[in-house]
Amino acid sequence: MSGTNNLLGRLSESLAQAVVKAGLSTVMVEARRRMPASGVVLTPDLVLSADHVVERDDDIRLLFQDGKDSAAQVVGRDPGSDLVLLQASGGGLSPADRAPEAALVGQLALALGRPSPEGIQASLGIVSAAGGPLRTGRGGLLESYLRTDTIPYPGFSGGPLVDAGGRVMGINTSGLTRSSSLTIPAVLAWGVAEALERHGSVPRGYLGIRSQPVTIPALQREALGREQVNGLLLVGIEERSPAERGGLMVGDILVAMAGVPVNDPDELLAMLVGAAAGQSSTLQVLRGGENIEIQVEIGERK
């Protein structure tokens, strides 16, 4: 094209370069009967992939961009977020570059996969939505997720979603929802990987309550002294649970945990993932016309 800056051509080249760069840390993961899937290198010997594509614990093989391969072992699994951490026996892998900021709706995105030894594969699109929390149907809950209009080709699960600079914005999986694919944001995925490396599993906090969201009545809202519309009405307390030991009662309206307002049960679940387990926390509760604080020792969901 004459008389232009050839922006389209430059954009195209940048995208191809992003694929080359991110392709160095996108590996083939062979651990199921069906075709292999993909994984992302986190450290020189750790690879993150989708839990549902690693069907076996033994005889796992990784294949890298340079054609070399390596055996791998499962470090830990988190079915709730459909992530699995693998350790390559060889080491010396090229870790992925992580995007420093959260993905923005509308930004360009490439989904990458390496489901075959033929080479890296890609699909181009944009970040369509950023949402959460999302119940994943396996007892898990994603605090946040991304959706894109990229095509989730067979074997793309476990592969990265990268920005135009080839930096990882998240891990793609089609194993969490029945009809579509979604992306686990990098900050969440890296956090899960850290927990898996340390504990072999992701600790999930447990209170032992059953609750439903309610509109806080006007009188009680006055006692609360802030503009919070919804809270959690406790409709059940499990015996010998952290909630019972802490003194929570049926009929209480839970409005905050550790100073953070709680508007619905999913928000509470999200707060209970990760660090909260085993720690003491302050719950803010409306009981009758009173605004009270209760200390609980958060348990761990087994």
Q: Which residues bind other proteins (CB under 8 A)?
A: 1, 4-9, 11-13, 15-20, 23, 110, 116, 118-125, 150-151, 153
DSSP, collapsed to helix, strand or coil, labels residue 198 as helix
Q: Please, where are the H alpha helices in 200-264?
A: 218-224, 242-246
Q: Which is nearer to other proteins, 129 or 151 (CB)?
A: 151
Beta carbons within 8 Å of 208's beta carbon, 6+ residues apart? 237, 238, 241, 242, 243, 244, 299
Q: Which is nearer to other proteins, 145 or 153 (CB)?
A: 153
* Beta carbon of residue 121, minimum distance to other proteins (angstroms, whole number): 4
* Beta carbon of residue 132, minimum distance to other proteins (angstroms, whole number): 26
Token pair of 217 as six digits:
């009545």
3-state secondary structure 167-190: CEEEEEECCCCCCCCEEEEHHHHH
* Beta carbon of residue 288, minimum distance to other proteins (angstroms, whole number): 55
- DSSP-derived letter for residue 10 is H
Q: Which is nearer to other proteins, 121 or 284 (CB)?
A: 121
Q: Which of 297, 284, 274, 252 is nearest to 133 (CA)?
A: 274
* Beta carbon of residue 112, minimum distance to other proteins (angstroms, whole number): 9
Q: Which is nearer to other proteins, 108 or 277 (CB)?
A: 108
Q: Which is nearer to other proteins, 123 or 183 (CB)?
A: 123
Token pair of 281 as six digits:
């926390």
Token pair of 284 as six digits:
């803010």
Q: Which is nearer to other proteins, 1 or 218 (CB)?
A: 1
DSSP, collapsed to helix, strand or coil, labels residue 9 as helix
* Beta carbon of residue 161, minimum distance to other proteins (angstroms, whole number): 13
Q: Which of 245, 117, 136 is nearest to 192 (CA)?
A: 136
- DSSP-derived letter for residue 199 is H
d(CA 189, CA 119): 25
* Beta carbon of residue 11, minimum distance to other proteins (angstroms, whole number): 7
Q: Which is nearer to other proteins, 109 or 207 (CB)?
A: 109
Q: Which is nearer to other proteins, 117 or 200 (CB)?
A: 117
* Beta carbon of residue 44, minimum distance to other proteins (angstroms, whole number): 25
218-228: buried (b, 16+ CB within 10 Å) or exposed (e) per residue? eebbeebeeeb
d(CA 172, CA 147): 9
- The residue whose two tokens read 């420093």 is 100
* Beta carbon of residue 110, minimum distance to other proteins (angstroms, whole number): 6
